[in-house]
Amino acid sequence: MDFDVVVVGGANIDIVGKSDSQIIMEESNLGDIYYNFGGVGRNIAENLARIGIKVKFITALGRDDDGKKIFEHLKSLNINTRDIVISKEYATSKYLYILDSNGEMVTAINSMKIVSLIDDKKITNMCETVRSSEYLLLDGNIKESVIGSIFENCTDTKIIFDPVSITKSKKIVPYLDKLYALKANKFELEHLSGVKITDDESVIKAGKKLIRKGTKKVFITLGEKGALYMDKDEYFFRQNMDANVVNVTGAGDAFSAGFIYGLIKGHNSQKTMDFGLAAASITVESEKTCSEKLNERTIIERINNV
């Protein structure tokens, strides 16, 4: 196979504001403002590359300084960029978010119109490339019609979906029976399953509902409570690994990269979850959305130190 994983999704410049103290709403708060490379698909692709996985990334970038910076950074990580769409019409996506003093997100705004350039025709032309990979990761930023085209034309590929947000999670509903794995947070899980999440039992009930609909594997992140894994034969909860939290924003994307690594390497479900949680714990210790300290060695060391 040419690639272990093909990732299709968003790439943007993150503009981050982190408060020095408790945020006062409708007030100017003292803190720091900085920039990161971001986008769920881009973050997952970077994390996978850092832990030694061969990745192809398909996205859309503007023909502007931000797009050039993202493109060159992807190439520096040995991520295949050949099928990235470059646009003169649209600017590279931006994502603005505010963190409290504990590194938890307060609110965010995204501007990602350019992702609409990843269209059905583009995906159809790339289907041979996609089919050459065992795994395909889709993020919820791409159009629903594109998701439909992928499920129609890439039937031999194991498709993993990350909803990105509650609103965008509905795009996968018609294809839950064809989905190999779903990674979602508890809010996205609630929206997809129709089950109100109030405790562990409701998380289990919601997960089982998705499994009954045909999804093979479910990975649910639960914030400070850790994560749930479920398939038709088993389910279990796992606690987070200890970390000195700086910025939680990229934790879910690192978790996805970690468990995808576990799937590619053929690890059992317990070890696969460990790789996801270890990757997340390393990532939250960095100001950047993707930690430069993340690699196969540091993940294994984090697991062994639990």
Q: Is residue 221 part of a domain?
A: yes
- Report the predicted TM-score, pTM, of the whole model to 2 decimal places: 0.93
Residue 45 sits in which domain range? Answer: 5-10+40-65+78-89+116-304
Answer yes or no: is 73 within a domain: no
CB atoms < 10 A from the CB of 105, how many? 13
C-alpha distances in Å from residue 290, one per residue of 22, 43, 72, 219, 250: 25, 6, 16, 20, 6
In a domain, residue 22? The reply is: no
What count of other Cβ atoms lies within 10 Å of the Cβ of residue 283? 29
- Give the model's pLDDT for residue 103: 83
Give the pLDDT score at 158: 94
Return phi, psi of residue 245, to 5°: -70, 130
CA distances from 196 to 28, 98, 225 (A): 36, 27, 17
- Terminal alpha carbon distance of the chain: 34
Domains of the chain: total: 1
24 found inside a domain? no
- Least Cα distance to 74 among 131, 9, 128, 142 occurs for 9
Give a yes or no: residue 173 inside a domain.
Answer: yes
Which residues, 6 or more positions from 12, have their beta carbon under 8 angstroms from its beta carbon? Answer: 37, 38, 39, 42, 70, 92, 93, 94, 95, 110, 112
Residue 1 has pLDDT above 70, yes or no: no
272: domain CATH number is 3.40.1190.20
Q: Which region among 122-136, 217-231, 249-263 has the lowest average model confidence (pLDDT)?
A: 122-136
Residue 292 lies in a domain: yes
**pLDDT for residue 5 is more than 90:** yes
